[in-house]
Chains A and B, each alone.
Chain A
Amino acid sequence: MRKIFTHYLFKRFLRMIFVIYVVVTFTFFLIRFMPSNPVEIYIENLMSNYSMSYEDARNMASSLFSIDLDTPLWKQYLIYLKNLLRGDLGKSILSSNIPVAEMISGFIPWTIFSVGASLIISFFLGISLGMMMAYRRGGILDHCMTTFASIVSAIPSYLIGLLLIVLLGVQLKIVPLSYMRGSISPGVKPGFNLKFFLDALAHAAVPITTYVISTVGGWMLSMKGNTLNVLGEDYITVARARGLKDRTITFKYVGKNAMLPLMTSLAISIGFIFGGSVIIENIFVYKGMGWLLAQSINSRDYTVMQGVFLIITVSVVLANFIAELLYVKLDPRIRR
Chain B
Amino acid sequence: MKEGLKIFLRQLLRNKVGFAGFVILILIIFMSFVLPIFIPLDTKVKINEIYQPPSLKHPLGTDFQGRDILSQIIHGGKDVIIVAVFAGVIGTTIAVSLGALSGFAGGKTDMVITSLADILLTIPHFPLLAVLAAFIRLSSPIGLALLLGLLSWPGAMRAIRAQVLSLKERDFVEAARVLNLGTFHIIFKEIIPNMMNYIVMNFIFTMRSAVYSQVGLIILGFVPYSSHNWGIMIYYAWTRGAIFYKNSVLYLLAPISMIALFQWSLVSFARALEGIFNPRLREG
Contact = CB atoms under 8 A, between A and B. Distances in A.
A156 B130 contact: no
Interface in A151-193: 151, 153-156, 158-159, 162-163, 165-166, 170-171
Contacts of B38: none
B263 A294 contact: no
Given A19-B119, A271-B124, A293-B130, A159 B259 contact: yes
A313 B219 contact: no
Given A297-B130, A313-B127, A154 B215 contact: no
B99 to A, nearest CB: 19
Given A275-B126, A305-B131, A313-B124, A154 B136 contact: no
Contacts of A313: 123-124, 127-128
A96 interface: no
B55 to A, nearest CB: 21
Given A22-B119, A313-B123, A316-B123, A159 B131 contact: no
Contacts of B267: 150, 153-154
A317 B118 CA distance: 11
B264 A155 contact: yes
A298 interface: yes
Contacts of A320: 122
Contact of B126 (A34, A159, A279): A279
A159 B122 contact: no
A279 B125 contact: no
A116 interface: no
A35 B133 CA distance: 12
Contacts of B125: 271, 275
A19 B124 CA distance: 12
Given A19-B118, A35-B136, A316 B124 contact: yes
Nearest to B271: A150
A282 interface: yes
Interface in B195-224: 208, 211-212, 215-216, 219-222
A278 B252 CA distance: 20
Interface in A64-94: none
A279 B216 contact: yes
A73 B133 CA distance: 25
A122 to B, nearest CB: 17
Contacts of A153: 267
Contacts of A305: 131, 134
A35 B137 CA distance: 10
Contacts of B123: 19, 23, 271, 313, 316-317
Interface string B150-185: 000000000000000000000000000000000000
B135 A312 contact: no
A28 interface: no
Contact of A312 (B118, B127, B133, B260): B127
A309 B130 CA distance: 9
A112 interface: no
A276 B126 CA distance: 7
Contacts of A30: 131-132, 135
A317 B121 CA distance: 10
A198 B253 CA distance: 32
A275 B127 CA distance: 6
Which of A34, A150, A156 has the most chain B CB atoms inside 10 A of its CB?
A156
A156 B267 CA distance: 12
Interface of B: 17, 115, 118-119, 121-128, 130-136, 208, 211-212, 215-216, 219-222, 234, 238, 243-244, 249, 252-253, 256, 259-260, 263-264, 266-268
Given A155-B263, A274-B124, 18 more contacts: A34-B135, A34-B136, A153-B267, A158-B219, A159-B256, A162-B238, A171-B249, A271-B125, A275-B126, A293-B130, A294-B130, A297-B133, A298-B221, A312-B124, A312-B127, A313-B127, A316-B124, A317-B122
23 contacts: A19-B118, A23-B123, A34-B136, A35-B136, A154-B266, A158-B216, A159-B234, A159-B256, A159-B259, A162-B234, A170-B249, A171-B249, A271-B122, A274-B127, A275-B124, A276-B216, A278-B127, A279-B126, A297-B131, A309-B128, A312-B127, A316-B122, A320-B122
What 6 pairs between A and B have smallest CB-CB spacing? A275-B126, A34-B135, A154-B264, A275-B124, A271-B124, A155-B260
